[in-house]
A and B are shown apart, each in its own frame.
Chain A
Amino acid sequence: MYPISEDQQALVDMVRQFSTESLAPKAAEWDETHHFPVEVLRKAGELGMGAMYSREEFGGAGLSRADAILIFEELAKGDPTIAAYISIHNMVAWMIDAYGTPAQREEWIPSLATMERLGSYCLTEPGAGSDAAALSTRAVRDGDDYVINGTKQFISGAGTSAIYVVMTRTADTGSGGVTAILVPDGTPGLSFGPPEKKMGWHAQPTRAVVFEDVRVPVANRLAEEGDGFGIAMNGLNGGRLNIGACSIGGGQAALDQAVEYVKTRVAFGKPLVAQQSILFELADMDTQLESARTLLARAANALDSDDADKVRLCAMAKRVATDAGFAVANSAIQLHGGYGYLTEYGLERIVRDLRVHQILEGTNEIMRLIVGRSLVGR
């Protein structure tokens, strides 16, 4: 895991330059104007960020999860919201690459890899969040088609994406009755709710996705009927690592900014950094991030090697990393005093953006449930 390999360092160097030049200078403006920078995503796609850990056969970059978390941390230092969207897009690409037929992969992976076409992942519903197995969007077989009815909630990229991976109910057998179906944009009956007004993540659209007699061929089904819940959960293992890495990146950016600030800000006749209490706070922030980073790397290794412990480790890492990133960014505001509360300083945006990471890809309470159950065998 550490030190990272020469190849990984080369990846990190490249992504850092992209993040510094193409994301960081624009992050505040995109937040303020609620602009989803599709053109910048295309640029990221050209660099290989659209299908990082998909196989190379149809245009994926063939990287490991351990590589991906390093990349997402760097992206998030520039803009956590865009980094997080790229994570979701990659999850979609990976699902099609991992579970799709050769024809499905050939149709979608090349353009998802370059981000010419964007992807959205539709699991959550207005009445089914943490209890995902209770989802009620229904797909009914009709000859060689499925007819889909229902609503998906909190969908990142909705309205902009070219492809929606939709978890549907094909049988009333709980998690065993869930089926994943690919729904291309423009399919009749597919529509979107208004953009949600939200605390953070302003630089990417979040909308409901509504299915009214949406008819797609059976050939759009991903894997077999009933496989959907397993696909969703496997996708989330990686999504949890990525979102954890996004939190660490956001937190690190806030910490770096705080370190510079306390070295120059003078109070009571000396720089803030001359106060031991300030040093203690910085040390705690740094330690929280480094602990989270280390656990995240371990979980990524477990996922790469398909370790039996991967679900537990990914859940632990997600919880620790998203809590650490948020806590550190929040502390950075405190260290800045009143200035930290000003939009101009960029810290309140990081806090707003990172807050949702504790909720999505499985809430941190669900992460604790996963870990707790693994202890008592239930």
Chain B
Amino acid sequence: MIKIAVLVKEVPDTWSDRRIDPGTKRVDRDGDVVIDEINEKAVEAALQVKESGGGEVTAVTMGPKNALDAVRKALAMGADAGIHIIDEALGGSDALQTSAALAAALGSRGFDLVIAGNESTDGRTAAVPAMLAERLGLSQATFLRTLTVKDGTVTGERMTDDGHVEVRASLPALVSVTEQIAEARFPNFKGIMAAKKKPVETLGLAELGIAAGDAGGANSWSVVETVAAKPPREGGTIIKDDGTAGQKLADYLASAKLI
């Protein structure tokens, strides 16, 4: 039976107007927040591994109180347990600090496989999985679009700019998965009702053994210097059909390397 940890987080709904607070230079989390879609897919991948060969899935999140909803969603889908890293002092952590906190939480628990989404839809650093693997001393296979675990080995197709490469690693290992990995299942009624009864452990700075002087935005290694709103989209190109519109359209798409 393999022990799997899946990283999940709450992000502002991609269907809502998302913004970065110009004062704090942090993502504004006051609007609608939902479990990141890529995390649902990572949970699905974990559940499929569990269903194919037995195992136990723990959903792990770091964030304020409502981040627990992402863990609950994973539990409703079928994860067995949850870990919620929550401490006000951790607010504003950068990728290095986040990976340190996750490493402290996961380190001694003997997970065979850690699954993460390749990048979140809010911060989009896409750095935490690799950093976490490094801190935990695990093999890492990132940007996988397929995932198979068999006989102590994880294999998958790693996306590259012009195709994919087949990669494999011995367990214990960390993988990050792309949105192609799987369609996430709906939690069913039983899963939803059972989710509340599943164990969720809460960890703060003390439990993680992180010194207050190393935690949070004030002590982060990286600093966001400025934030600027994306310029509004400029008007598109309009081609008037004088009989050659098809050709012009094809030329335009070709020049943008779309065909």
Task: List the interface of chain A (C-beta within 8 A of B).
Answer: 6-7, 10-11, 14, 17-18, 46-49, 52, 56, 61-63
Among B72, B76, B193, B195, the one with the most A-chain Cβ atoms within 10 Å of its Cβ is: B193
Q: What's the minimum C-beta distance from A83 to chain B, rounded to whole angstroms?
A: 16
> Which chain B residues numbered 150 to 190 have a C-beta less than 8 Å away from chain A?
186-190
**Secondary structure type dominating chain A contacts:** helix
Q: How far does the Cβ of A139 sit from chain B's closest Cβ, in whole Å?
A: 35
For the complex, give the distance between the alpha carbons of A45 and B196 in Å: 22
Closest A-chain residue to B191, C-beta based?
A48
Instruction: Decide: B189 and A17 in contact? CB cutoff 8 A.
Output: no
Contact in complex: B186, A18 (CB < 8 Å): yes
Inter-chain CA distance A361–B186, complex, in Å, is: 31
Q: Which residues in window 188-216 of B have CB below 8 A to A?
A: 188-190, 192-193, 195-196
Residue of B whose beta carbon sits closest to that of A47 = B188
Task: Please report whether the interface of chain B is mostly helix, strand, loop or mixed according to DSSP.
Answer: helix
Distance in angstroms from A53 CB to nearest chain B CB is 10
Whole-angstrom distance from the CB of B79 to the nearest CB of chain A?
A: 14
- How long is the Cα–Cα vector from A17 to B189 in the complex, in angstroms? 13
- The listed residue (A6, A10, A18, A61) touching B190 by CB distance below 8 A is A61
- A7-B187 in contact (CB<8A): no
30 contacts between A and B (CB under 8 A): A7-B192, A7-B193, A7-B196, A10-B72, A10-B187, A10-B192, A10-B195, A11-B189, A11-B192, A14-B186, A14-B187, A14-B188, A14-B189, A14-B192, A17-B186, A18-B186, A46-B188, A47-B186, A47-B189, A48-B188, A48-B189, A48-B190, A49-B189, A52-B189, A56-B190, A61-B190, A61-B193, A62-B193, A63-B189, A63-B193
User: A10–B187 Cα gap in the complex (Å)?
Assistant: 10
The 6 closest A-B pairs by CB, nearest first: A48-B189, A61-B189, A48-B188, A47-B188, A10-B192, A47-B186
Number of residue pairs A-B, CB distance < 8 angstroms: 37
Q: Which residue of B lies closest to A6 (CB)?
A: B196
Which of A7, A10, A11, A18: most chain B Cβ within 10 A? Answer: A10
Q: How far is the CA of A61 from the CA of B186 in the complex (A)?
A: 15
In the assembled complex, the CB of B131 is this many whole angstroms from the nearest CB of chain A, namely: 33
Q: Give the residue name and chain of the A residue nearest to B192 (CB).
A: A10
**Please, which residues of chain A bring their CB within 8 A of the CB of B188?**
14, 46-48, 61
Query: Which residue of the partner chain B has the closest CB to A17?
Result: B186
Chain A: minimal CB distance from B41 (Å): 15
| B interface residue count range (under 10 / 10 to 19 / 20 to 34 / 35 or more) | 10 to 19
B residues with a Cβ closer than 8 A to A are: 72, 76, 186-190, 192-193, 195-196
Interface centre among A7, A11, A47 (most CB of B within 10 A): A47
Alpha-carbon separation in the docked complex, A302 to B192 (Å): 24
CB distance from B184 to the nearest CB of A (A): 11
Chain B positions within 8 Å of A52 at CB level: 189
In the bound complex, CA of A7 to CA of B190 (Å): 11
B110 to nearest A CB, angstroms?
A: 31
On chain A, the residues within 8 Å of B193 by CB distance are: 7, 61-63
Report Cα–Cα, A47/B188, bound state, in Å.
4
Provide the residues of chain A in CB contact with B195, threshold 8 Å: 10
A14-B192, A47-B186, A62-B190 are known contacts; what are 12 more A-B pairs with Cβ within 8 Å? Answer: A7-B192, A7-B196, A10-B76, A10-B187, A10-B192, A10-B195, A17-B186, A48-B188, A56-B190, A61-B193, A62-B193, A63-B189
Q: Which residue of A lies closest to B73 (CB)?
A: A10
Alpha-carbon separation in the docked complex, A61 to B194 (Å) = 11
Of B72, B186, B187, B196, most buried by chain A (CB within 10 Å of CB) is B186
Q: Within 8 Å CB of A49, what residues of B?
A: 189
> Within 8 Å CB of A61, what residues of B?
188-190, 193
Give every chain B residue within 8 A of A48 (Cβ-Cβ). Answer: 188-190
- Chain B residues lying within 8 Å of A63, measured Cβ to Cβ, are 189, 193
B78 to chain A, nearest CB (A): 13
Distance A23 CA – B188 CA, assembled complex (angstroms): 17
B189 neighbours in A (Cβ, 8 Å): 11, 14, 47-49, 52, 61, 63
Q: Which residues of A contact B186 (CB under 8 A)?
A: 14, 17-18, 47
Closest residue to A8 on the B side, CB-wise? B192
With most chain A CB atoms within 10 A of its CB, the pick from B187, B188, B192, B196 is B192
Q: How many angstroms between the C-alpha atoms of A61 and B191 in the bound complex?
A: 10
Residues of B within 8 A of A14 (CB): 76, 186-189, 192
